[in-house]
Each structure stands twice: as C-alpha cells, then as structure tokens.
Amino acid sequence: MTEVRGAVHVEGEVVATKRIGAFRHLTLTAPGVPERFRAGTFVAVTVADHVARRALWVHRVRASSAYGPTLDVVVEARGSGTQWLTAQPVGARIAITGPLGRPFALPKEPVACLLVGEGYAAAPLFPLAERLRERGCQVSLVVSAPDEAHLLSALEARRSARSVTVLTADGSVGVRGRVTDALDDLVARSDADIVYAAGPTPVLAAAASAAERSGAWSQVAVEAPTPCGTGLCHGCPLPVVGEDGVDRVVRACTEGPVVRGDRVRWDALPDALGQAR
Amino acid sequence: MSAQLPGPVMVAAGCGGTGRELEAYAGPAGLVGLDLVTRSITLDARAGGAGPRIAEVPGGLVNAVGLPNPGLDHFLATELPWLVRAGVRVLVSIAGATMGEYADLARRLSSAPGVAGLEVNVGAPDDVGTGLFEVREPFHAASVVAAVRREFPTDRPVLAKLRPDVSRIVEGARSCHEAGATAVVVGNAVPAAFPDGRSGGLSGPAVAPIALRCVAEVHRALPGVPVIGCGGVRDLRSANAYLDAGAVAVQVGTALLHDPTTVSRLRADLAPTDRLMEDA
C-alpha cells in the first residue's frame, strides 16, 4: 500500500471529550488526517474569533472506531483559544489542518531507545513508542511533570515500553525529581542508542546534551508558538546549525517540529521563542 | 508596451511561505496559474527577527517577522525553479537597503526564467523594515520604483506595494505610477505595537476598512492607475468590497494563515478575466 503523504485541511468533529487532571483530552474525527499521521507530526486547529491557529500534539491515532479513524489531542487551557477548545462539546465541528511538520525519524535497526517527555507536550512519544516496539526496539519511557495533574498517564504505554519511569517535581506520583537532573542517569541505565524528547525547551536541551555525552543520537520535538502551523507565516523561528556548519533559522512548524538535538542552537532558542532566559 | 496584470486573486507577500506549502491545499488543479507574490527577497540572506514574531490581537495579528529569506542566489537556485515547474505565476517581492540593491535585484530577476513580474516593497512598517532603504517619502518610493523599472522589461509588471496611510496614499500611488509602476498594491501591515510595546505591523480583518478607504481614495483621485487591494481579504464579500471600490485585483494574506485553502476558494469564486493594461 502506498503511504499517504501531505497535509489536508478538513472539518472535523469532536466525538469524545474527557478531563484528566489539568488537561482536556479531545477525540476528533478529521477525514484523512489519522491515515497520514506519523508520530511527531501535529495538527493546527481553528478556534472561534481568533486569527491565529492552535497547534496540538497528537497523543493517539485509532485506525478505526465507531466514528471511523480518529485522533486524540491533549489540550492545556492556557489562554482564550485553548479555553475555547477545552470547552467544545461532543458534536462540535472544528477546522483541522494536518498532519503538519516532520515526524520523528525511526531507526532501521531494533536499537535501544529512551523516550523522555514532560507535561502535555509528551503526547507524541506515545504513538512513537508503539512504532518503535513494532520495529523491535527496546523502549524506555520517562514521563515527568511538575505534579500529578500535569502528568500524561503512562499506564497505556506499558504495552509498548519495556520500562516506564514517572517523575514529578513535587513527588505526588512516581519518583520525586526533575527530569533535567536525571537525564544522564536515565540515558546510562537505558543504554540508549537514540534519545527522543518532547516537552519544554529545558527538557529538550538536557536530553540533547545527555545524548551527546553518551554518544547517542537525539531527536527532539520542539514546541514553538506557531501562528499558522503550515509554514506560511515564518512566525516560529528555530535556530539551527545546518549539515554544512552554517547557522540558520528555520521554521519550527515545517522544518521541525522534530529535529536532531545536536542541530539546535540551544543558546539562541529562548530568544527565538521569545522566552525570558 | 503592455504588461498583463495578475489577478483577480493573488497571494500577498510574506503569507505564502515559499509557495510550496500551499500545494497541499490547492485542490486538484494544483498551483497552476496561481499568482503568488513571494516573501520579500533581499540580495543577502536575512535570518529574520527574534521571537515572538507574531502576536494575536482582536481582529488580526501584529507581526515583526523581519523579512527572513534565503537571499537572491538561494532563491534563484532552489525556490524559483520549483514554483515555475508547478505552474505558479511568480511575482517576486524585492526589498533592498539601497537604491543600487533594488536595481541589482531587478536586473538579475529580469533574466531569471519564469519571473512573471516584480513587486517593490515600499510599504513595510518602519521598524519591521529595519535595514531597508527609507521609502516613507513618496519621492523616495518613486525613485526606487524608477530604478527597478529601468532594469526590468516593460512587458512584465512591476507593482509598488504601499502602506495604507490615508493621508499620503494618493501622493504615493501617483508618484509610483509616474515612476513606472504598472499597478499599485494598496494595503500592507499598518504600523502598530505588540502588547509589550515593541514595534510591528497589524494585519488581518482589522485593517480592511483602512485599506479599503485608501483604495477608494486612490481610485477616485487617479482613476487611470490600476489598484490592487490588500488587507483582510478572506472571502468573496471582503474581496468584492475592494473590487467594487475600483480595485482590479486583490491579494490574500493573513487569511491564509487562518485557513490555507482561502486562496483556492477565492480563485474559484472569482473567475479570472484578462486585463490588458497600458503600461505607463
């Protein structure tokens, strides 16, 4: 079967909505999107009365359900747009564009992989874990959060991962601690050949440098505010260094969101994202 | 000498990515015949500004993207051939730091295969165009247009994109047209500020009434000058407002960021008609 590629812009429908901790999990139909999805790609959705769109990580894709193919997204209400999204009831129609961006690169060999994620942004690691397991990779999954409410449950991932580690900063569940401090140890213990990371910039930077120190490859899913998500606006600068050693600024939505960790200019990233250091 | 004007629907500069990104949303006809104005190309590569480059405000977006582009050489080597192969009518937006740079850009683009025309960016909001030739005075904008026109074949259009500044738009349009612009594009990001006070440009539905006023003023004062309306075009109704006010074509910008299928829908809604204009 030929794989379907490229994004589509469709009208989807909310078929399930569930609050889990601080997040809202939405299950959406979006004709053509689940079929094209690869772990690490994302969708952009239209929210009422807003010009810019909201980019959402895909947590899970079902090839078939009572509603046909669906995708699950995780939303944390942080502003008026995400608040509107989390309030959408079953049956609500939403314009969805996707899948967008470059996915995680998968190894050809069944190697050891460490997957590190924090908060809702850890979502793309779950479909990734499934793909890796299908390829016979040994998957170690680490999910972390400030507290239990902001933790994506790893219960379902136990099927795909050989080991699951849970870290919370306040110790409300799992091991007390910050993933950024534990990374060297986690990389060593998992004997990882590839480190995959998804979450806030400090987690990605720590994962990339821990991988570098241990001689592993790294793939990071950068979360940048993407006004359009489709590559049209150049509003999500991602500073990288190219294969040729030349510094460049690429679009996080189109040349990313997944990039090699050793290609990101981590010192320039906070400015590019407009984050205070 | 005549130069065929693009339209009636075009992709506005800076809102179509590299052009390639629109292909997924173009429908079965693809990008064939699409009038696309590229993001502004400069002689040397520009990385663009720091983030956040875009902020959402009621009715629009404030941006200070900073004209990121790979520079002319890279554009000619990689982006232009792809667009030409895809059947796009490529209008290259150009921006320069000096009059000489504009002339160089125009000369080199005149011999690049597949360039359907140029759009001279003489309307970037002040701080957003940092490092660009100062064109706030209509006289300076006209000098740039004249320099470009001298280097570019007269059978292909040179558009001048002006800022929708009501108090000076007629003067700007007249000067640029007299300097050889085939048409003037009226509407660009309006000088504005980010919520934190940084300078930027406002675009989207919020600027439509301002740009519409400017289009109407220019058309009234200079009925012989072809005007292309730009600002808040998102559907047939908003496009028709410009056409009814005398515009010969419209450009779609910010709406594409909201819905990437906007331009294909509008192209279907507004069946193209040939417009042969006398070049000045």
Q: What is the pLDDT of residue B271?
A: 67
Q: What is the pLDDT of residue B276?
A: 44
The answer, yes or no, to whether residue B45 has pLDDT greater than 60, is yes
Q: Give the residue-averaged pLDDT of B182-200.
A: 93
Domain ranges of chain A: 8-100, 112-273
What the block records as the tokens of A128 is 């990734």
Contact call for A233 and B17, based on CB within 8 A: yes
Candidates B26, B155, B180; CA nearest to B88 is B26
Report yes or no: A90 and A76 within 8 Å, Cβ to Cβ.
no
- Whole-number Å distance between alpha carbons of A241 and A244: 8
Report yes or no: B213 and B166 within 8 Å, Cβ to Cβ.
yes
Residue B155 DSSP class: T
Q: What is the pLDDT of residue A240?
A: 97
Distance from CA of A178 to the nearest CA of B (A): 27
Q: What is the pLDDT of residue B126?
A: 59
A249: nearest CB among B18, B68, B205: B68
Instruction: Confirm or reject contact between B19 and chain A (CB < 8 A).
Output: no
A8-100: CATH number: 2.40.30.10
The answer, yes or no, to whether residue B261 has pLDDT greater than 70, is yes
A51: nearest CB among B16, B39, B204: B204
Instruction: Confirm or reject contact between A274 and chain B (CB < 8 A).
Output: yes
What the block records as the tokens of B68 is 């990121």
* Average pLDDT of the residues of chain B: 91
Residue in the block written with tokens 């790893």:
A154
- Whole-number Å distance between alpha carbons of A53 and A123: 19
The answer, yes or no, to whether residue B123 has pLDDT greater than 80, is no
Residues of B in contact with A97 (CB under 8 A): 25, 260
What the block records as the tokens of B235 is 């559907």
Q: What is the pLDDT of residue B275?
A: 45
Residues of A in contact with B208 (CB under 8 A): none
- CA dist list (Å): A60 to A126, A128, A130: 7, 9, 10
Instruction: Confirm or reject contact between A95 and chain B (CB < 8 A).
Output: yes
Burial of A18 (0-12, 13-18, 19+ CB in 10 A): exposed
Model confidence at B130, pLDDT cuts 50, 70, 90, reads low
Per-residue pLDDT of chain A in tens (277 residues, 90 and over written 9)? 345 568 999 999 999 999 999 999 999 999 999 999 999 999 999 999 999 999 999 999 999 999 999 999 999 999 999 999 999 999 999 999 999 999 999 999 999 999 999 999 999 999 999 999 999 999 999 999 999 999 998 887 788 889 999 999 999 999 999 999 999 999 999 999 999 999 999 999 999 999 999 999 999 999 998 999 999 999 999 999 998 999 999 999 999 999 999 999 999 998 888 875 4
A52: nearest CB among B25, B257, B261: B257
Distance from CA of A39 to the nearest CA of B (A): 20
Whole-angstrom Cα Rg for chain B: 17
Query: What's the fold here for domain A112-273?
Result: Rossmann fold (3.40.50)
The answer, yes or no, to whether residue B277 has pLDDT greater than 60, is no
- Whole-number Å distance between alpha carbons of B134 and B159: 18
Residue A201 DSSP class: H
Question: How would DSSP label each residue in B82-99?
Answer: HHHHTT-EEEEEE--SSH
Contact call for B205 and A6, based on CB within 8 A: no
The answer, yes or no, to whether residue B32 has pLDDT greater than 60, is yes
- Whole-number Å distance between alpha carbons of A44 and A73: 11
Whole-angstrom Cα Rg for chain A: 18
Backbone angles phi, psi at A129, to 5 degrees: -60, -40
What the block records as the tokens of B75 is 């554009």
3-class DSSP assignment, residue B171:
helix
The continuous run of DSSP H or E covering A250 comes out as strand A247-251
Candidates A129, A139, A211, A142; CA nearest to A175 is A142
Distance from CA of A9 to the nearest CA of B (A): 7
Kindly list the structural domains of chain B, giving each domain's residue range(s) and its CATH number in brackets, ordered by start. Answer: 9-279 (3.20.20.70)
